[in-house]
Chain A
Amino acid sequence: MASKKRAVPEINAGSMADIAFLLLIFFLVTTTMDVDKGLLVKLPPWTEESSEEQDIKEKNIFVVLVNAQNQLLIEDEYASLEDIRRLAKEFIDNNGDGSCEDCRGLRDPNSSDNPRKAVISLQNDRGTSYKTFVTVRNELLGAYAELRNDLAERKYGRDYQSLNETDKEAVNEIYPQFISEAEPVKIGG
């Protein structure tokens, strides 16, 4: 016996839009699109001795001091925030012993030997404001970024960000990043 198929009544989809709107408004209200961005740094591992003495020649260290009044002293001379990037670049790129073929530094014998030996030491006071610290840190990172970018332009004809991983590593090999954040002391003031 062929039974007559019962017709399934069609579901009314008219209120679908209302439901979707409801959900949409909920997500619109709860959404926050903040992507966290920041200066990525790496901390040195914890050691019990408060200060480990390393054998680094005086001329290979670029000392940046920031005091409680947010004033800067770079290599024993007063400086302003605008100077940091230029001075840091000159220091890193100096290439005193000539072992860095890709560097274009001034080859001043009293400045750093080569970028692999150059260390930037950032020391601040406990009273230094966070804003100043971040700005100084930003400038130091910027100095490295600019040097790497310049090298990438010269070597590969493209900017650093568009290089592939191996090329990036080759650039990083020439300009490795050595920035040390020393424990804060009372510099004075």
Chain B
Amino acid sequence: MAHIKKKKKVETPPLSTASLPDIVFMLLFFFMVTTTMREVTLLVKLKKPQATEIQKLERKDLTTYIYVGAPKSAALGTEPRIQLADQLASVGDVQQWVILQREAINEAERTKFTVSIKGDIDAKMGLISDIKQELRKAQALKLSYSANPAASAEELFKSF
């Protein structure tokens, strides 16, 4: 008797998704730890200069940012302006504002207070110097000129 053997299908076992939550949680925690919310909306055009001798600013909570650049909105002209927190300000406001920012830090760590100037490459030194003078008046003497890392000095010169 001819017996037709039915070819048995080789079944692949279903992929177990039981460990999926674990993987997702792992990613979740990673992003939760590394995340920082963007705290300001930039009102000025900002293209940071490049440099090689840069140092990391370790403590974000001890750092205050001053943005300098031409306003994004054309109605405000093309002359570089200062942005403190969420609004454009004038040089005269800097001192008061920096003092207020420093007051917010707990007293033991106030000496580590750093101001980071995020300046646009097209800004002129006149304005930056005025800010520096205001910072000196406010006794905020630790300053960082924010810059993007450049691979080498040669590369830096090429951009001129």
Q: Given contacts A36-B57, A43-B141, are A126 and B21 in contact (CB under 8 A)?
A: no
User: In the complex, are the beta carbons of B56 and A37 less than 8 A apart?
Assistant: yes
Q: How far is the CA of A139 from the CA of B126 in the complex (A)?
A: 21
Complex alpha-carbon distance, A85 and B51, angstroms: 13
- In the complex, which of the residues A30, A33, A36, A142 contacts B146, with contact meaning CB atoms closer than 8 Å? A36
* A1 interfacial contact with B, CB 8 Å: no
List residues of A (38-93) whose CB comes within 8 Å of B's CBs.
38-46, 81-82, 85
Contact of A131 (CB < 8 Å), options: B24, B117, B122: B122
Q: Does A162 contact B (CB under 8 A)?
A: no
- Shortest C-beta distance, B19 to chain A (Å), equals 10
| Contact (Cβ within 8 A) A42 B55 | no
A184 close to B121 (CB less than 8 A)? no
**A-side contacts of B136, CB under 8 Å:** 43-46
Are B36 and A31 in contact, with the CB atoms below 8 A? yes
A42 to B144, CA, bound (A): 8
Check: B37 CB closer than 8 A to any chain A CB.
yes
A162 to B143, CA, bound (A): 25
Chain B residue at minimum C-beta to C-beta distance from A82: B157
CB of B54 within 8 Å of the partner chain: yes
A32 cross-chain contacts in B, Cβ below 8 A: 35-38
B52 beta carbon closer than 8 Å to chain A = yes
Q: A38-B144, A85-B153 are in contact. Are A31 and B124 (CB under 8 A)?
A: no
Whether the Cβ atoms of A131 and B144 lie closer than 8 Å is no
Known contacts A126-B124, A128-B124, A129-B123; is-contact A134 B141 (Cβ 8 Å):
no
Q: Please indicate the chain B residues that have their CB under 8 angstroms from the CB of A81 in the complex.
A: 157, 160
Residues of A within 8 A of B148 (CB): 37
A3-47, CB under 8 A of B: which get 1 and which 0? Answer: 000000000010011001101100110111101111111111110
Q: Which residues of B contact A129 (CB under 8 A)?
A: 121-125
What's the Cα separation between A40 and B132 when bound, in Å? 13
A83 to chain B, nearest CB (A): 11
- Evaluate contact between A36 and B116: CB separation under 8 angstroms: yes
Complex Cα spacing A183 to B132, Å: 9
8 A Cβ contacts from B23-39 to A: 24-25, 27-28, 31-32, 34-38
Residues in A neighbouring B133, C-beta threshold 8 A: 46, 183
Closest to A15 in B: B21
Bound Cα distance A30, B117 (Å): 24
Does B122 contact A134, Cβ atoms closer than 8 Å?
Answer: no
- In angstroms, how far is the closest chain B Cβ from the Cβ of A177? 11
Nearest first, the 7 A-B pairs at minimum CB distance are A126-B126, A38-B144, A27-B31, A131-B121, A46-B136, A38-B146, A138-B51
Instruction: Point out residues on A near B: beta carbons under 8 Å.
Output: 13, 16-17, 20-21, 23-24, 27-28, 30-33, 35-46, 81-82, 85, 124-135, 137-139, 141-142, 145, 181, 183-184
14 A–B pairs (Cβ distance < 8 Å), ordered by A: A20-B25, A23-B28, A24-B24, A39-B144, A40-B142, A41-B143, A43-B140, A129-B124, A135-B157, A138-B51, A138-B153, A181-B132, A183-B129, A184-B126
